[in-house]
Amino acid sequence: SKVKKLRGAIQLHSMPLEKSKSLVQPINQLFRFMNEGEPIRVWLRDETSCFIDGRITGFDEYMNCVLDDASEVCPSIFISFHSQLSPHYSPSTQVSAKTGDRQNLGRILLRGDCITMISHL
């Protein structure tokens, strides 16, 4: 009797996950981005003033990602904010302090534990 109740509770608990079509696993979304060659934007954990744009060409189970045509983007609002916080802040020489700019990186490998968010452009 207790076993039947337990089995019933397990089946009821697992039903929504089995029937839900809206839940997309992160690894499946990465695979979709890679197969469709969509340009993506990656927000990094420790570098909150910049993000990386590119196309995923490979990844593994740890969400380490290889990006092609990658570029680092630092919007001007972040640059001006950081320059006000610290007089010693100096953005990369290829980044314009007025408008923000892109620094081309080419093919890069991003560690999965550094990634905060990935979205399509």
Q: What is the pTM of this model?
A: 0.64
Domain of residue 57 covers 26-85+99-120
pLDDT of residue 1: 54
Handedness of CA 85, 89, 94, 98 (dihedral sign): positive
Q: CA–CA distance from 75 to each of 50, 55, 78, 80 (Å)?
A: 7, 20, 6, 9
Please check the confidence at residue 22 and state whether its pLDDT lies above 90: no
Rg (CA), the chain: 21
**Pairing state between β 115-120 and 39-44:** antiparallel
> Residue 17: its pLDDT value, please?
53
Do the domain assignments include residue 107?
yes
- Contact partners, residue 56, CB within 8 Å, separation at least 6: 30, 33, 34, 40, 65, 66, 67
CATH classification at residue 110: 2.30.30.100
DSSP SS3 for 6: helix
The answer to whether residue 6 is domain-embedded is no
pLDDT category at 18 given cuts 50, 70, 90 is low
Residue 110 lies in a domain: yes
Q: Is residue 90 part of a domain?
A: no
* Structure token digits, residue 101: 């700019």
In a domain, 74, yes or no: yes
Domain assignment present for 46: yes
pLDDT tens track for 29-47: 999 999 999 999 999 999 8
